[in-house]
Amino acid sequence: MGESDRPIAIVDADNRAIGEATRSEMHVRQLWHRACHCIVHDGRGRIYLSQRDDVVCRDRWDVSLTEHLRAGESFEQCAERGLARRLGVSGARPHPISEVFADRDLHDGGEEYGGRAIADYRFMQLFALEYAGPIGFDRRVYKAGQWHAIAEVDALIASDPERFTPHFRKDWLRIRPVLVRGPGDAAPVAALEV
């Protein structure tokens, strides 16, 4: 089963579960779904960024992990599954750094979508994980991974924002203050309007 054929939980505009669809159906039909994003940091001011190699936002840098929820799965379970499956970090317990919030993005759909733009309508939750061990990224989704200092990420975004996915640039506004204070000190960040 390919990445675009995996069943993803579909929800209505009020975040109530209503069924499942494949990733390609979800994007083409602009269906609301659930996703989690996780940033892995080493506790010493560095974060792990993943460079995408799948259809959406190919070659751009992103948070450490992005993952869609499956039917019946919680955001926490999705983050734990994604960390093990996509980054090879098993048994991790990431810390939520936001409440669940509604978010929308438009992306270049690439070859899979005939070059059409696709839309992501999702309810998301952001997580952070302090971890400094080995990372074995999933080469079906990621081309590369690198550790970067927070100040370096700030400079890269300022100099060339298009090197990053649209959702990373939005996520960074929520993630950065938590990393500077420390995940244990952070209250969940309030939702931004979409």
Judge whether 172 and 70 are in contact, CB under 8 Å: no
In a domain, 187, yes or no: no
Counting the structural domains of the chain, the total is 1
pLDDT for 193 beyond 50: no
pTM, full prediction? 0.88
Mean pLDDT of the chain: 87
Share of the chain above pLDDT 90, in %: 66
Q: What DSSP designation does 98 have?
A: B
pLDDT of 187 higher than 80: no
Which range scores top for mean pLDDT: 1-15, 42-56, 64-78, 108-122?
64-78
Which contiguous run of DSSP H or E holds residue 121? strand 117-130
192 belongs to a structural domain: no
Could you list the residue range(s) of the whole structural domain that residue 152 is in? Answer: 3-181
> What pLDDT digit, counting tens, does each position of 92-115 carry?
999 999 999 999 988 777 777 777
CATH number of the domain bearing residue 47? 3.90.79.10
